[in-house]
Structures are given as structure tokens and as C-alpha cells.
């Protein structure tokens, strides 16, 4: 008598595969939010154009278009990094041996993680201080500035996580290096 073959259970919570899926979901969620902010930018620009064409005015459309554009840019940073779409100067890496290349990659990722950490710290701090001081926009929309700054703070925190992720993957030798193709010129 043979027993039916049992499929392996899903990995328990906390395993590397679960962490990998969680990180990828975080990057994808930030990218989706960035897309929503891009749609917000489009909506504000179209509202401004329609207002000029049909003689009505919606105050603050320029400011909200700017807030949305900034939010989209910051929230898309980590997703762009993880897809290998950030601009990289690979002149040294192309001519380095395997050991030198790995050392350059680790050094670059360590520096980038440190800089992303500082960027995230000061972005979160800026948003918190704007909230504490009740700082508002000087434009006619009078928006509390901590609201649009939240997208910047969130985007920089997710970017920090993505750089730390890349550093750990490189350290463990599991990082996927993007291949240059005809569409990418570095």
C-alpha cells in the first residue's frame, strides 16, 4: 500500500521566503500608491485646465498637483531600485574582477543604505515637526504640510528597507544583478 504523496506545507511564518514575499509586497504597495499619486497629479492638472476652459476656479490645484507629484516620486523609489531601473555608473564594475566587483558593490550598498537611513530619518523628522508646529502651506490651499510630507517620509523609509535588503542579498551572494540590454545604456 502506498500513501498518497503529500505536498509540502507552506513555510512557517518568519522564514526567509515569507520575509521575501513580505518585502516584495511592501515594494509593490509603495509602487501602487505612487501610481495613485500620479493619477492625483493628472486629476489636479486636468481640473486646472478645465477651470480655465470653462471659467471656474478650484483653489489649490497647483499645490495639490505638486504634492501628488512629490508623493509619486518618493513612493516609487524602492520599487524602481528593486527592478534595477536606477541610474548606475558601471564603468568601474565592468572592468573589475569578481572579488573587486563584490567589494565595490558591498561598499556602494553600505554607503547607499547609510544615506537612505539619514534621508529617512530627516524626512520623518520633518513631517513630525511640521505636525508639532502646525506648519501650513503658504499657498492659498493652506494645507497642513505634514500631510504631503507623509508620502515623502514613507517613500524614504521604504527606500531604506530596499537598500538594506539589497545589501543583505549582496552579502549573502543572492543578489540578482541587472543585465544591460539594448534599452538600458549606463
Sequence-distant (6+) residues with CB within 8 A of 89 are: 186
pLDDT grade, residue 91 (50/70/90)?
A: confident
Predicted confidence band of residue 96 (pLDDT cuts 50, 70, 90): confident
Q: pLDDT tens across 165-182, in order?
A: 999 999 998 887 666 554
The model's pTM: 0.83
pLDDT(154) > 90 = yes
State mean pLDDT over 26-55.
96
Q: What are the domain boundaries of the chain?
A: 21-172
Cα 153 to its chain centre, rounded Å, is: 10
pLDDT reading at 88 higher than 90: no
Q: Buried (b) or exposed (e) across 94-120, using 16+ Cβ within 10 A?
A: eeeeeeebbeebeebbeebbeebbebb
Give whole-number Cα distances, 63 to 76, 116, 135, 152, 170, in Å: 20, 27, 15, 15, 41
Amino acid at each position: 500500500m502506498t500513501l498518497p504523496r503529500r505536498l509540502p506545507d507552506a513555510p512557517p511564518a518568519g522564514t526567509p521566503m515569507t520575509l521575501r514575499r513580505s518585502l516584495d509586497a511592501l515594494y509593490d504597495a509603495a509602487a501602487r500608491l505612487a501610481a495613485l499619486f500620479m493619477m492625483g497629479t493628472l486629476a489636479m492638472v486636468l481640473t486646472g485646465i478645465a477651470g480655465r476652459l470653462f471659467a471656474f476656479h478650484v483653489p489649490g490645484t497647483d499645490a495639490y498637483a505638486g504634492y501628488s507629484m512629490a508623493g509619486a516620486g518618493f513612493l516609487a523609489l524602492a520599487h524602481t531600485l528593486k527592478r534595477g531601473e536606477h541610474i548606475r555608473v558601471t564603468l568601474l564594475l565592468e572592468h573589475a574582477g569578481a572579488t573587486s566587483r563584490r567589494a565595490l558593490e558591498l561598499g556602494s550598498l553600505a554607503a547607499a543604505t547609510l544615506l537612505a537611513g539619514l534621508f529617512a530619518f530627516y524626512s520623518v523628522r520633518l513631517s513630525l515637526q511640521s505636525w508639532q508646529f502646525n506648519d501650513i502651506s503658504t499657498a492659498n490651499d493652506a494645507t497642513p504640510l505634514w500631510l504631503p510630507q507623509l508620502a515623502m517620509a514613507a517613500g524614504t523609509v521604504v527606500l531604506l528597507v530596499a537598500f538594506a535588503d539589497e545589501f543583505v542579498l549582496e552579502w549573502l551572494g543572492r543578489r540578482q544583478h541587472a543585465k544591460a540590454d539594448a534599452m538600458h545604456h549606463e
